[in-house]
A and B are shown apart, each in its own frame.
Chain A
Amino acid sequence: MARTEYQRRLEALREEVLRMGEVVRERLDIALRALAERNEELGREVIERDAEVNELYLDLERECMDLIALQQPVAGDLRFVTASFKIITDLERIADLATNLGEYAGRAKHEIYPDIDVIHIGERATEALAEAMTAYADEDVTTCYEIARRDDGIDDLCERASELVIRDLIDTEGNNAETERLFSEVSRLLLAVRDLERVGDHAVNIAARTLYMIESDDELIY
């Protein structure tokens, strides 16, 4: 095998992207727990530790640029580096969404809507992220398609949840005080639902870039 140092750096990039994936998933887990337990302190932890993720992101972005500038990867190596470059952006965004969830932790009143299982939605989104990262690690095409397909289910759950809340808000039409009260109670819940839907979308992006990386297939990219 030639270009040993280059091969080592490619492998190190793969490992670091996977590590970033682990860190982000952990943040999402904590944020969801904070949301479920309405634990403001846990929520704050997610917000305060976001800087670590940003730092990881910048390090990996720099490494991708170095590899492109100094090693001129081509073919499968090029697709790997560019896919990794895109995937770390999705991971960084997911971490940002986790900080949003951390912020809602103390204030999202999901108990007034027992039918909206925001934690279940969160678990499905987290699962999608975990599977996308496994697909990236194992270069698993089938799982990439699976993640995209199952995201429709997450989207449906989110849409139904939003509809439920918005319908109630519409029903209070003409009673501004009631609208105001309901809105103040459920706005965080709505935002949490929207953010979790976006976590699912980022997981699909990761799967799409992984699929492109594996076999130059751009079918899942938008």
Chain B
Amino acid sequence: MEIEAGRTGRAARPDTPVLEARGLEVHYGDDHALQPTTVDIPQKQVTAIIGPSGCGKSTFLRSINRMNDLIDVARVEGELRFRGKNVYDEDVDPVALRRRIGMVFQKPNPFPKSIRENVAYGLNVQGKEVTDEAVETALRRAALWEEVEGKLDSSGLDLSGGQQQRLCIARAIAPDPEVILMDEPASALDPIATSKVEDLIDDLAEEYTVVIVTHNMQQAARISDKTAVFLTGGELVEFGDTNEVFENPEHQAVEDYITGKFG
């Protein structure tokens, strides 16, 4: 039997950076939420971001597709390059950016509309034609098609929590983005729904770059190729192959955090 290094076959792929943070830092008023951060996020892999509450991990995630723009007191410095282009350049339209870098949130938040309309929204924002085929493709990619086929006109809110989250993922991938950001996408789900979302993330990484914030370290270990560890004070302390981070971290502070000796 041949045992591949790393968790998935993807580990063997070369790391081609699709997102490059260069001295990226975020202040919320007087709060220095993200210290200057420099890191390369590789294409078509799953990168997990872990760390204690208030460590800046969600701030970092939200700064990737300029969600922090929506917060008045937020101030961003440094660069976040997407395919080499700084997303904070003046000529970048944040709405267009978010079509290419989609987001899935902690709590499933489908619109109070039909399943079809939820997915159609994702297609509309991209200016794509809403066809039955496009809706089906998005739902298939989100591993939801078989469960909702035949009831596309019923409300998205009638689905179970896990199905709602996969519907939100279908909506996020309908515009065919390159990157999907996920902010604790399974923390409100039961173990079975969580497993389905984790399997889905694994599948998604075949076509998309996935960056996921999670409080669940075992989940990060299970599903990611790369792991970034932020510690209190908004500092990225370690970034590396997930198996390295969980088996032999470079920094004592990371070791203490992941083994539970922190604080």
Contacts and interface: CB of A to CB of B under 8 A. Distances in A.
Interface string A174-216: 0000000000000000000000000000000000000000001
B243 to A, nearest CB: 10
A75 B255 contact: yes
Contact of B217 (A2, A74, A76, A78): A74
B248 A2 contact: no
A142 interface: no
Contacts of B246: 74-75, 78
A105 B31 CA distance: 76
Nearest to A4: B260
6 contacts: A74-B221, A75-B246, A75-B258, A77-B259, A78-B246, A79-B248
Interface residues of B, number: 15
A79 B255 CA distance: 12
Contact of B247 (A2, A6, A216): A216
Interface string A120-141: 0000000000000000000000
Contact of B248 (A1, A3, A216): A216
Residue from B247, B249, B259 having most chain A Cβ neighbours under 10 A: B259
Instruction: Bin the interface of chain A by size.
Output: 10 to 19
B9 interface: no
A79 B260 CA distance: 15
Nearest to B255: A75
Contact of A72 (B218, B254, B263): B218
A215 B246 CA distance: 14
B261 A78 contact: no
Contacts of A72: 218
Nearest to B263: A2
A79 B249 CA distance: 12
Nearest to B246: A74
Interface in A68-85: 72-79
Contact of A74 (B247, B262, B263): B247
Contacts of B259: 3, 73-77
A3 B217 CA distance: 15
Contacts of A2: 260-263
Interface of A: 1-3, 6-7, 72-79, 216
Contacts of B255: 75-76
Contacts of B217: 74
Contacts of A73: 259
B248 A6 contact: no
Contact of A1 (B221, B247, B254, B261): B261
A97 B138 CA distance: 63
Contacts of A216: 247-248
**3 tightest A-B contacts by CB?**
A3-B260, A216-B248, A74-B246
A56 B150 CA distance: 60
A75 B254 CA distance: 9
A74 B248 CA distance: 8
B218 A3 contact: no
A209 to B, nearest CB: 14
B248 to A, nearest CB: 4
A81 to B, nearest CB: 11
A6 B258 CA distance: 13
A130 B34 CA distance: 51
Given A74-B221, A76-B255, A3 B247 contact: no
